[in-house]
């Protein structure tokens, strides 16, 4: 079948993207689902900083690629052998396909699925195949097993979580990455206790979700750090008790002052080793610093090792918020429906496919949080 899609042929193209056009909109060929594969109609896809990191080259991926990983849609066709899904199901995509059999899956950490991670690095589905071709017949890679910037896509059933059809799919898409990653980092990775002092660095979609998660966990104070006043205003709506503009004051000293000596938990949600070092320095003795953002693979973190021993500090990463998608995406949706997670404030723009390059300019400039590509408006 033919489907319109946004294809990235080259990373590191100059900005503004509205002029250079790194994402090429074209009708690509999509093969139908084979054994253990699903044809999915994408209804909505969020534009995430992780997509931008592929475009600008700070998160290298195999090229060319049909981009997009935070998405929701409707199951339209099942390949042979697919179980647990039916045509018409409303689903949210997980950007790690989870085999269910490897050591990580069996030990309760499916977001670190080993075959899923290898497939994502190769740009294939979990079945080690590619289903897209461009108009000249060139094979196109899949982005994290999803490729949500295509009206139709083929995915592994292990990349899908069935959700309540009462949940609007434009909202549901955000739970696949921003909410799962940010809230999950707080409640799954760090396991923040009520009354703990929390600082979150970076108020993008993931950082704002971490603020929501911290407030829902009963943390106090909840300190939001950013360089853009508009983002800090959103952080207040998300549940931050204090905000710090890092352009106006030293964020380390400001966090220490607000938290009476340092945060018990700090979350780096920017994707910068420099910001991570700030977050680490802003924690107290026995504090935990959780790295959620992804910097370029060549960038290394330098922190004083003696403080980890003498002050029993903890440093750890959180991928996909250490989530179990089949458990956590429905759980976080229930929290949203109960009014605990104000996810709507993440959704700042709706876009169509032909406006996607301009939308990534807005994201790079910090002028948007989550822009949602809506295929249901075609």
**What are the φ/ψ torsions at residue 174 (nearest 5 degrees)?**
-65, -20
Q: How far separated are the first and last CA of the chain, in Å rounded?
A: 18
In a domain, 331, yes or no: no
Asked whether the beta carbons of 293 and 202 are under 8 A apart, the reply is yes
Looking at the predicted structure, is the pLDDT value of residue 113 above 80? yes
Asked whether the beta carbons of 76 and 106 are under 8 A apart, the reply is no
DSSP SS3 for 44: strand
Going by pLDDT thresholds of 50, 70 and 90, the confidence category of residue 120 is: very high
Asked whether the beta carbons of 206 and 238 are under 8 A apart, the reply is no
CA–CA distance, 367 with 358 (Å, rounded to integer) = 11
Are residues 315 and 264 part of one domain?
yes
Look at the chain and report how many structural domains it folds into. Answer: 2
CA–CA distance, 208 with 201 (Å, rounded to integer) = 10
Burial 164-180, CB ≥16 within 10 A → b, else e: eeebebbbbbbbbbbbb
In a domain, 325, yes or no: no
Domain of 369 in residue numbering reads as: 2-176+342-377
Are residues 88 and 26 part of one domain?
yes
Are residues 271 and 156 part of one domain?
no
CA–CA distance, 125 with 118 (Å, rounded to integer) = 10
Q: What's the gap between Cα 76 and its chain centre?
A: 25
Angle at 313 between CA 312 and CA 317, to 5 degrees: 140
In a domain, 172, yes or no: yes
Are residues 135 and 58 part of one domain?
yes
Cα R_g (the chain), whole angstroms:
20
Are residues 195 and 75 part of one domain?
no
The mean pLDDT value of the chain amounts to 97
CA–CA distance, 140 with 65 (Å, rounded to integer) = 5
Are residues 120 and 221 part of one domain?
no
Choose the final residue of a domain: 286, 319, 352.
319
In a domain, 265, yes or no: yes
Angle at 368 between CA 256 and CA 20, to 5 degrees: 125
Are residues 189 and 166 part of one domain?
no
Are residues 56 and 115 part of one domain?
yes
- Tens digit of each residue's pLDDT (9 = 90 or more) over 11-58: 999 999 999 999 999 999 999 999 999 999 999 999 999 999 999 999
In a domain, 287, yes or no: yes
0.85 cut: is pTM over it?
Answer: yes
> What pLDDT is recorded for position 377?
64
CA–CA distance, 347 with 95 (Å, rounded to integer) = 20
Are residues 293 and 235 part of one domain?
yes
CA–CA distance, 45 with 150 (Å, rounded to integer) = 9
Are residues 184 and 256 part of one domain?
yes
Mean pLDDT of 339-360: 97
Other CB atoms within a 10 A radius of the CB of residue 112 amount to 17
In a domain, 328, yes or no: no
Asked whether the beta carbons of 247 and 227 are under 8 A apart, the reply is yes
Looking at the predicted structure, is the pLDDT value of residue 89 above 80? yes
> What pLDDT is recorded for position 118?
98
- Give the dihedral sign, CA 309/199/93/151: negative
- Tens digit of each residue's pLDDT (9 = 90 or more) over 199-251: 999 999 999 999 999 999 999 999 999 999 999 999 999 999 999 999 999 99
In a domain, 257, yes or no: yes
Are residues 262 and 183 part of one domain?
yes
Asked whether the beta carbons of 345 and 234 are under 8 A apart, the reply is yes
CATH of the domain at 368: 3.90.180.10
> What pLDDT is recorded for position 376?
75
Tell me the CA distances in angstroms from 286 to 37, 257, 289, 315, 321, one per residue in order: 46, 17, 10, 10, 21
CATH of the domain at 255: 3.40.50.720
> What pLDDT is recorded for position 246?
97
Are residues 141 and 217 part of one domain?
no
In a domain, 333, yes or no: no
């Amino acid at each position: 079948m033919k489907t319109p899609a946004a294809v990235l042929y080259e990373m590191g193209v100059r900005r503004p993207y509205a002029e250079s056009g790194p994402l090429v909109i074209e009708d690509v060929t999509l093969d139908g689902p084979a054994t253990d594969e699903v044809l999915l109609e994408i209804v909505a896809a969020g534009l995430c900083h992780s997509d931008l990191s592929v475009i600008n080259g700070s998160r290298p991926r195999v090229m060319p690629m049909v981009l997009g990983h935070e998405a929701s849609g409707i199951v339209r066709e099942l390949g042979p052998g697919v179980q647990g899904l039916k045509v018409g199901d409303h689903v949210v995509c997980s950007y790690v396909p989870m085999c269910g059999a490897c050591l990580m899956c069996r030990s309760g950490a499916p977001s670190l699925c080993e075959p899923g991670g290898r497939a994502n690095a190769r740009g294939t589905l979990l079945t080690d195949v590619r289903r897209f071709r461009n108009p000249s017949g060139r094979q196109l890679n899949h982005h994290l097993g999803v490729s949500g910037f295509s009206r139709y896509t083929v995915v592994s059933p292990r990349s899908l979580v069935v959700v309540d059809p009462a949940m609007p799919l434009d909202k549901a898409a955000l739970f696949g990455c921003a909410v799962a990653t940010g809230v999950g980092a707080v409640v799954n990775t760090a396991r923040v206790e009520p009354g703990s002092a929390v600082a979150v660095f970076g108020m993008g979609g993931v950082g704002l979700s971490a603020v929501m998660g911290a407030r829902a966990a009963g943390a106090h104070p909840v300190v939001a750090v950013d360089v853009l006043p508009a983002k800090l205003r959103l952080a207040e709506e998300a549940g931050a008790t204090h905000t710090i503009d890092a352009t106006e004051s030293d964020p380390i000293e400001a966090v220490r002052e607000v938290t009476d000596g340092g945060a018990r938990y700090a979350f780096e949600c920017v994707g910068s080793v420099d910001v991570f070092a700030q977050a680490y320095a802003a924690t107290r003795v026995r504090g935990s610093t959780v790295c959620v953002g992804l910097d370029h693979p060549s960038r290394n973190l330098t922190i004083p090792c003696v403080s980890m021993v003498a002050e029993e500090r903890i440093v750890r990463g959180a991928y996909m918020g250490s989530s179990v998608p089949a458990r956590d995406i429905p759980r976080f949706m229930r929290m949203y429906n109960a009014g605990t997670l104000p996810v709507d404030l993440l959704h700042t723009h709706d876009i169509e496919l032909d406006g996607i390059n301009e939308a990534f300019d807005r994201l790079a400039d910090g002028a948007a949080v989550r822009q949602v590509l809506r295929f249901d408006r075609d």
